[in-house]
Amino acid sequence: KRVLVGGASRGIGLCLVRQLAADGASAIATCRKPTAELQAAGAAQVITGVEVQDTASVGSLARQIQAPLDYVIYNAGYFMEAKETLDALDDREELKQIDICALGALRTVAALKAAGLLRGAKVAIISSQAGSVEWRFTQNRGQGGDYGHHMSRAACNIAGALMSEELKALQVPVVLLHPGFNRTDMTQKFERIWDIEGAEDPSVGAKRVLYEVGQISMDTTGHFINCEDGLLIPW
């Protein structure tokens, strides 16, 4: 199978490429800057210089893919380091998170569709339970916070839901996946609770993601799935 992994230079993205290569798949990895780890991960193709915040850059990415894809996994993401509260907002960082996590996914899928690479493919967008409005009343009870992060994931989710509807005519399913809590650079700010909350090595998270990717069909299109247990996450 030919699998595009967007955002593959580190963390879960890098582990996805390694696992796909180990499983015999042809992984096409994209990143902003190449790393020695990614170059050694076994990808069939590494496309560098990809800026998901730039439409032209994403269009260039699509033109470098030579054959249709079986799967697309959009994994690019960003989580600002500081914690936001109403007393400490950062609108530039908020917009950057939304641009990468939500608009980046939209740009990527649109560019692949325009290039004729989506027909017959299945699309997985790595989102987060942070985009669930309902779960905020439990997990953020009494504190709110991290506004840009949560808004970016909610925006990603609505983009995925709408794309799943638009792409039904092409029989291209789109699902949103929460990969679980993993020990990555993105969650380093929560290192103090990694053990308490059961954060996994990203290699485990990647296997969970790939299991759910393997279950994607038109029956599951538009679903928001927790890779930790395979259950649906409420919007």
**Going by C-beta distance under 8 Å and a sequence separation of 6 or more, which residues neighbour residue 99?**
53
Q: Are residues 132 and 235 in contact, defined by beta-carbon separation less than 8 angstroms? A: yes
**Alpha helix positions (H), 64-103:** 91-98
Which residues sit opposite 176 in a β-bridge? 125, 224
Residue 73's pLDDT is what?
98
User: What does the pLDDT read at residue 189?
Assistant: 77
Q: How many CA atoms lie within 13 A of 123 on its CB side?
A: 31
Q: What angle do CA 51, 54, 57 make, to 5 degrees?
A: 65
pTM (predicted TM-score): 0.95
Please give the structure tokens belonging to residue 60.
């260039």
Cα radius of gyration (the chain): 17
CA distances from 217 to 175, 189, 223, 224 (A): 9, 35, 10, 13
List, in sequence order, every beta strand (DSSP E) within 31-127: 45-47, 71-74, 122-126
List C-alpha distances in Å: 197 to 30, 190, 194. Answer: 30, 10, 5
Question: Strand 224-226's sheet: what is its strand order?
Answer: 45-47, 26-30, 2-6, 71-74, 122-126, 174-178, 224-226
CA nearest neighbour of 112 among 4, 186, 24: 4
Residue 51 structure tokens:
């800026």
Residue 24 tokens read as: 């015999």
| Residue 83: Cβ within 10 Å count | 11
Predicted local confidence at residue 197, as pLDDT = 78
Q: What is the pLDDT of residue 190?
A: 75
Q: Can you give the pLDDT of all 235 residues of the chain as single tens digits?
A: 999 999 999 999 999 999 999 999 999 999 999 899 999 999 999 999 999 999 999 999 999 999 999 999 999 999 998 999 999 999 999 999 999 999 999 999 999 999 999 999 999 999 999 999 999 999 999 999 999 999 999 999 999 999 999 999 999 999 999 998 878 877 777 778 788 878 788 999 999 999 999 999 999 999 999 999 999 999 9
